[in-house]
């Protein structure tokens, strides 16, 4: 017959053997859950990681732009959007119609580093004429760059610095 203290040790080991698989399953579920959470929050990583995003007021009239990430401007009728069109017309004057006319080949919309970005050009033009539309989502500022006959005109709703990506585009040469 086993001593009582030995019997107690064996019983506690048996209980531990039952608990270890349960603990392992719980840890696996938690890790998988965390991984799924990271995937969902990384859809627009720059906005989620930017500390300003949580503390600054996000302009409600531009909230819809985030949902356009990865979509094509033509598919969402971006240049005719009732929230964006009046601002573009005011910003660009009669050049807004030129922008619409040349916007034939385009890139999908990108949201990175708190900026909305898309690019379009006239078909078979090699990028001249072409245009870039950017929006500083945190500051509610539109920027447009238009290339025509190797000259670039930059439009900005305020006097802030033009985003680097737009500057880089304006310095590119076309065919």
Q: How far apart are CA 100 and CA 60, in angstroms?
A: 25
pLDDT tens for 131-159 read 999 999 988 999 999 999 999 999 999 98
pLDDT tens for 70-100 read 999 999 999 999 999 999 999 999 999 999 9
Residue with tokens 């919309």: 109
What is the DSSP secondary-structure string of 53-85?
Answer: HHHSPPPGGGHHHHTTTTS-TTTTTGGG-TTTH
Cβ pair 40, 62 in contact under 8 A = no
The domain segmentation of the chain, as residue ranges, is: 1-41, 47-171
Confidence of residue 46 (pLDDT cuts 50, 70, 90): very low
What pLDDT shows up at residue 114?
87
Instruction: Read off φ and ψ for residue 105, nearest 5 degrees.
Output: -110, 135
**Of 85, 110, 111, 109, nearest in space to 99 by CA:** 85
More confident residue, 9 or 68: 68
What pLDDT shows up at residue 62?
80
Please state the pTM of the whole predicted model.
0.68
């Amino acid at each position: 017959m086993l001593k009582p203290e030995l019997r107690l040790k064996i019983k506690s080991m048996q209980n531990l053997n039952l608990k270890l698989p349960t603990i392992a399953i719980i840890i696996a579920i938690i890790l998988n859950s965390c991984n799924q959470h990271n995937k969902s929050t990384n859809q627009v990583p720059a906005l989620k990681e930017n500390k300003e995003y949580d503390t600054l007021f996000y302009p409600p009239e531009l909230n819809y732009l985030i949902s356009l990430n990865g979509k094509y401007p033509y598919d969402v009728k971006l240049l005719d959007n009732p929230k964006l069109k009046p601002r573009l017309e005011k910003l660009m004057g009669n050049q807004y119609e030129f922008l619409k006319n040349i916007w034939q080949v385009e890139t999908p919309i990108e949201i990175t580093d708190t900026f909305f970005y898309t690019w379009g050009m006239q078909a078979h033009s090699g990028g001249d004429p072409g245009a870039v539309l950017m929006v500083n989502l945190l500051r509610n500022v539109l920027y447009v760059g238009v290339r025509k006959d190797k000259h670039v005109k930059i439009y900005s709703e305020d006097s802030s610095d033009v985003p680097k990506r737009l500057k880089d585009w304006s310095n590119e040469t076309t065919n």
